[in-house]
């Protein structure tokens, strides 16, 4: 659990940097690339928030591999086999690591429970007060749009007086909800097409991914910034698909329909639904994109850039903050190309380390006389590896000569 939380925290930090960078350059990208590609970039970032594991990047220069001293330093993970009286003190885990899983778990359960209860309450309210649309003309418009977009799934169309904006709800039984407002046929056609595009692109499932990221990283305020920014870009990209091939007058009519919904006010809703009206905060930006008729380029480069930032940023932070590299002691032994006598004495020494302490203290004087010295040092201790290896080899040869003389 400690390792998982460490990985989650490092991922949260790296994804915060990626989210801030993408949000900063998004206005510039939106002027050049199509809105759907900018939205797909946000989807990729959401996946990065949910999946905390990254590829590892070796930050050690390649020139170090040719240094003979690197071959003389062999890391031996023998902490569990060496008696505590013969080794340096190994720091125990900080007690905070035992508290963090509890705090994080309570936060996850609280946020998930809040959104679950809110969604269930909203769905019960909608089922209670909504009623099927009986106007044949409206139903024909819906069926025509469903055939145009090649959507085979059955879609319910209801009027609900407790909502203020058209929306799509339901993962397995999709339902379009309309507020009790009067729309012209052209406005209604664009509104219904807007919600059908949400259905065709599986935007509800994308919102579920955003909610999952919010639950996992509830402690990070950047995840809420990402959630709001992605919701706004989702509506903008959907507007762009609705208005493909529409002239300036049609775009103006579509913007007036959105503004008409604004006058009706806004009420709380579930996070697992689309929203034709995205809020007053993003209204100015959304209207400007609606009236923008300039042709935009495909933005496959946006996906490549987002993916590269997610992988490299997360991997670099994970490499720098790898806890295993900062707590594992180093045992420096002879190089692999030393003579057979040195290898045998090193092997004998390692066997002694694995024996109980009482057996080692009762060993005969001959075994005591040939026990070599081993330097056990924490990483980055500043010990000169070259001198230590030389002294160690000299000591081995001296002990072997004494043993042969006896």
DSSP 313-337: HHHHHHHHT-HHHHH--EEE---TT
Using CB atoms within 10 A of its CB, is residue 257 exposed (0-12), middle (13-18) or buried (19+)?
A: buried
Of all residues in the chain, what percent carry a pLDDT higher than 90?
38
pLDDT surpassing 70 at residue 382: no
Lowest-confidence region among 12-26, 213-227, 336-350: 336-350
- Residues in the chain, total: 406
pLDDT surpassing 60 at residue 2: yes
At 199 the pLDDT is 95
Lowest-confidence region among 29-43, 117-131, 213-227, 377-391: 377-391
214 to each of 50, 81, 170, 218, how far by Cα in Å? 9, 43, 20, 5
Cα angle 369, 353, 400 (rounded to 5 degrees) comes to: 30
pLDDT digits (tens, 9 = 90+) for 250-291: 999 998 888 887 766 655 578 888 877 666 667 888 888 898
Quickly list DSSP for 200-230. HTTHHHHHHHHHHHHHHTTT-HHHHHHHHHH
At 330 the pLDDT is 44
- Rounded-to-integer distance, Cα 66 and Cα 319, Å: 22
Looking at residue 362, the DSSP 8-state letter turns out to be: T
The CA R_g of the chain, rounded to the nearest whole Å, is 33
CA dihedral 363, 368, 370, 373 (to 10 degrees): 120
Quickly list DSSP for 15-58. HHHHHHHHHHHHHHHHHHB-HHHHHHHHHHHHHHHH--------
Is beta strand 330-332 parallel, antiparallel or unpaired with respect to 156-159? unpaired
- Rounded-to-integer distance, Cα 184 and Cα 28, Å: 35
Q: Which two tokens stand for residue 239?
A: 């507007």
Of all residues in the chain, what percent carry a pLDDT higher than 70?
64
CA dihedral 248, 251, 257, 260 (to 10 degrees): -60
Sign of CA pseudo-dihedral 158, 163, 164, 168:
negative
Using CB atoms within 10 A of its CB, is residue 132 exposed (0-12), middle (13-18) or buried (19+)?
A: exposed
Residue with tokens 């997360």: 314
CA proximity to 26, closest of 313, 221, 230, 280? 230
159 CB-side CA count, 13 A: 12
pLDDT surpassing 50 at residue 293: yes
* CB proximity list for 25: less than 8 A, separation 6 or greater: none
Give the range with max mean pLDDT: 206-215, 348-357, 389-398: 206-215
pLDDT surpassing 90 at residue 337: no
Residues 43 and 210 sit within 8 Å (Cβ to Cβ):
no
At 312 the pLDDT is 79
- Rounded-to-integer distance, Cα 18 and Cα 307, Å: 10
Lowest-confidence region among 205-209, 215-219, 243-247, 367-371: 367-371
At 3 the pLDDT is 80
Query: In the chain, what are the domain boundaries?
Result: 32-49+96-317, 70-89+333-405
At 17 the pLDDT is 92
Which H or E run includes 73?
strand 73-74
pLDDT surpassing 50 at residue 132: yes
Is beta strand 175-178 parallel, antiparallel or unpaired with respect to 156-159? parallel
pLDDT digits (tens, 9 = 90+) for 72-92: 444 444 444 444 444 444 454
- Rounded-to-integer distance, Cα 129 and Cα 158, Å: 10
At 97 the pLDDT is 66
pLDDT top residue among 199 and 301 = 199
The pLDDT confidence band at residue 303, using thresholds 50, 70 and 90, is: confident
Lowest-confidence region among 98-107, 297-306, 393-402: 393-402
């Amino acid at each position: 659990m400690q390792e998982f939380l460490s990985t989650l925290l490092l991922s949260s930090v790296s994804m915060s940097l990626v989210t801030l960078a993408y949000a900063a350059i998004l206005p510039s990208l939106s002027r050049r690339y199509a809105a759907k590609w900018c939205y797909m970039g946000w989807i990729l970032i959401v996946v990065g928030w949910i999946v905390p594991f990254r590829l590892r990047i070796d930050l050690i220069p390649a020139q170090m591999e040719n240094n003979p001293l690197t071959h003389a330093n062999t890391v031996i993970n023998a902490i569990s086999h060496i008696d505590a009286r013969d080794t340096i003190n190994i720091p125990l885990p900080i007690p905070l690591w035992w508290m963090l899983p509890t705090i994080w778990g309570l936060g996850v359960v609280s946020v998930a429970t809040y959104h679950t209860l809110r969604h269930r309450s909203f769905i019960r309210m909608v089922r209670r007060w909504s009623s099927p649309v009986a106007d044949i003309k409206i139903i024909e418009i819906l069926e025509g749009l469903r055939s145009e977009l090649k959507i085979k799934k059955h879609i319910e169309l209801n009027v609900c007086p407790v909502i203020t904006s058209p929306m799509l709800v339901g993962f397995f039984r999709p339902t379009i909800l309309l507020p009790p407002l009067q729309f012209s046929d052209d406005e209604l056609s664009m509104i219904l097409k807007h919600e059908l595009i949400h259905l065709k692109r599986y935007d509800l499932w994308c919102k579920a991914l955003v909610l999952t990221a919010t639950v996992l990283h509830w402690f990070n305020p950047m995840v809420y910034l990402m959630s709001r920014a992605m919701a706004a870009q989702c509506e903008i990209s959907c507007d762009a698909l609705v208005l493909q091939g529409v002239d300036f007058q049609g775009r103006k009519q579509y913007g007036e329909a959105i503004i008409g919904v604004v006058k009706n006010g806004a009420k709380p809703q579930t996070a697992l639904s689309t929203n034709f009206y995205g809020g007053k905060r993003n209204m100015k930006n959304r209207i400007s994109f609606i009236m923008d008729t300039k042709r935009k380029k495909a933005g496959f480069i946006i996906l490549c850039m987002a993916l590269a930032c997610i992988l490299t940023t997360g991997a670099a932070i994970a490499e720098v903050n790898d806890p295993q590299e900062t707590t594992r002691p180093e045992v420096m032994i002879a190089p692999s190309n030393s003579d057979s006598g040195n290898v045998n004495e090193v092997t004998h020494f390692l066997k002694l380390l694995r024996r109980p302490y009482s057996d080692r203290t009762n060993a005969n004087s001959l075994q005591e006389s040939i026990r070599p010295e081993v330097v056990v040092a924490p990483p980055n201790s500043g010990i000169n590896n070259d001198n230590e290896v030389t002294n160690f080899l000299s000591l081995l040869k001296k002990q072997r000569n004494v043993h042969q003389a006896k």
